Amino acid sequence: MSAGNSRSLYQSDEFATRLQRRYAAERRFRMIGIAAIGMATLMLVVLLGSIISKGYTAFLQTEMRVEVTFDPTDVQERNYAAILRRGLYAQFPDATDRASRRALNDLLSSGAPFALEDMVRQDPSLVGTTRTVWVLADDTVDQFMKGAISRDTPESQRPLTDAKIAAIDALSASGALSTGFNTTLFTSGDSREPEQAGIWGAIAGSAMTLIVTMLLSVPIGVAAAIYLEEFAPKNRWTMLIEVNINNLAAVPSIIYGLLGLAVLLGFFGMPRSAPLVGGVVLALMTLPVIIITSRVALKSVPPSIREAALGIGASPLQSVTHHVLPLAMPGILTGTIIGMARALGETAPLLMIGMVAFIVDVPQGFTDSATVLPVQIFMWADSPERAFSERTSGAIMVLLGFLILMNGLAVFLRKKFERRW
């Protein structure tokens, strides 16, 4: 083992070949690492790609131009469907038999007469006149126009008959069909008819739920964090609270749903499907996250700040409220936003407390029946219609948009107020 020996040892050919093998192993290991990251990236791309490619058409909607005469008797009897039908049939003078007329009727959304009714209610002078209106086309027409229904599939296997396709072709040739931005998606609540279904009700429900969550979890969470980090004596009880909080953070979300069902609905008799209950459940779920991140933020304020405040005669509470808390605020805010983003995307516990009901109306108050965006996605995902699966992807894009916005805000705050001690 003398120096002379070792020189030959590490400069031998044997060592050189071994070294080559070791470097090959090194490269392999590195490749595995790159492959792992590549795999994660690939999955992200496939996931987002599949949703965007399926979903971007949800923001478009086909409308049909119909020339309608607001016949006074029909208006009187609120028979707007008849008004529409006459306008539609006028474009197809050849279609006189029942079957072909029924086929034509199917091209219009079942909600189209209500649109006419709304027009008349807003402007009664329309009665007796003839106007050109654009109304929603049926979702099958919409899907056909977007190319989701191919005319090459056998007639028995597609939702549109040959006759309907011929009618659509005629309409579209005469410029009576146009595809534009889908405002319905953003202005109406849920519906059984895909072309009338929107996410506004779900967005409003999400907003209300999130407001309740925030009002409860932020003050309580921050207060708890301040107590545990700044004032609590280090004894068994505070240890218990700490362990408890850490474990609550890892409890499956569905358990919080069970808690809400048994305690809030069962014991306190709160209303089912209400944003208030959803908000309370999500607040309990987010609380540990907010406590933990707030504690981290408080902990990162160096003790010298506290000592400085105490040294000039501030009480412990004053030192915290005047100095420590403002310095920890960006961190607390970031944690809060991330917690809220998680609450916004949460689904499972809300299923338990009945927010999964089919609700057409946009909720007006915190105790109204409502649903939230992720649950709306869940419900639409179950619907067999192609138009609904397109809207599901569209709704997911909106949800992800909100989440990106919130997380972006958190990142911005962190970058802007980042402080190194």
Report the site for another protein in 215-244 (rule: CB under 8 A).
219-221, 223-224, 226-228, 231-232, 240-241, 243-244
- 253 touches another protein (CB under 8 A): yes
Q: Which is nearer to another protein, 362 or 396 (CB)?
A: 396
Q: What's the alpha-carbon Rg for the chain, to the nearest Å? A: 31
Among residues 211, 400, 409, 413, which is the contact residue for another protein, using CB under 8 A?
Answer: 400
| Contact flags string 280-319 toward another protein, x per CB under 8 A | ----x--xx--x-----------------------xxx--
132 has which bridge partners?
67
Q: Which is nearer to another protein, 10 or 56 (CB)?
A: 10
Q: Which is nearer to another protein, 35 or 215 (CB)?
A: 35
Q: How far is the CB of 210 from another protein (least distance, A)?
A: 14
Considering only residues 47 through 106, tell me which ones interact with another protein, judged by CB under 8 A.
47, 50-51, 54
Q: How far is the CB of 168 from another protein (least distance, A)?
A: 27
61 has which bridge partners?
180
Amino acid identity of residue 324, one-letter, is V
66 has which bridge partners?
133
133 has which bridge partners?
66
Stretch that binds another protein, among 24-32, 79-87, 142-150, 297-305 (CB under 8 A): 24-32
Count other Cβ atoms within 10 Å, centred on residue 267: 9
- 399 touches another protein (CB under 8 A): yes
Instruction: Return d(Cα 192, Cα 138) in angstroms, integer.
Output: 12
Q: Which is nearer to another protein, 66 or 355 (CB)?
A: 355
Among residues 15, 56, 181, 417, which is the contact residue for another protein, using CB under 8 A?
Answer: 15
- 212 touches another protein (CB under 8 A): no
Stretch that binds another protein, among 132-140, 195-203, 214-222, 302-310 (CB under 8 A): 214-222
Q: Which is nearer to another protein, 30 or 419 (CB)?
A: 30
Q: Which is nearer to another protein, 41 or 183 (CB)?
A: 41
Q: How far is the CB of 33 from another protein (least distance, A)?
A: 3
- 132 touches another protein (CB under 8 A): no
- 390 touches another protein (CB under 8 A): no
Considering only residues 340 through 359, tell me which ones interact with another protein, judged by CB under 8 A.
341, 344-348, 351-352, 356
- 403 touches another protein (CB under 8 A): yes
Q: How far is CA 202 from CA 39, 40, 60, 107, in A?
A: 34, 31, 19, 28
Q: How far is CA 397 from CA 182, 350, 377, 394, in A?
A: 14, 20, 10, 5
Considering only residues 159 through 198, tell me which ones interact with another protein, judged by CB under 8 A.
none
Q: How far is the CB of 415 from another protein (least distance, A)?
A: 12
Considering only residues 363 through 382, tell me which ones interact with another protein, judged by CB under 8 A.
374-375, 377-378, 381-382
Reading across the β-sheet that carries 60-69, which strands appear in turn?
130-136, 60-69, 177-181
Instruction: Return d(Cα 120, Cα 129) in angstroms, integer.
Output: 11
- 322 touches another protein (CB under 8 A): no
Q: How far is the CB of 193 from another protein (least distance, A)?
A: 21
Q: How far is the CB of 316 from another protein (least distance, A)?
A: 8
Considering only residues 25 through 54, tell me which ones interact with another protein, judged by CB under 8 A.
25-26, 28-30, 32-37, 39-41, 43-44, 46-47, 50-51, 54
Stretch that binds another protein, among 73-81, 122-130, 195-203, 246-254 (CB under 8 A): 246-254
Instruction: Return d(Cα 288, Cα 209) in angstroms, integer.
Output: 18
180 has which bridge partners?
61
- For another protein (CB under 8 A), the number of binding residues is 101
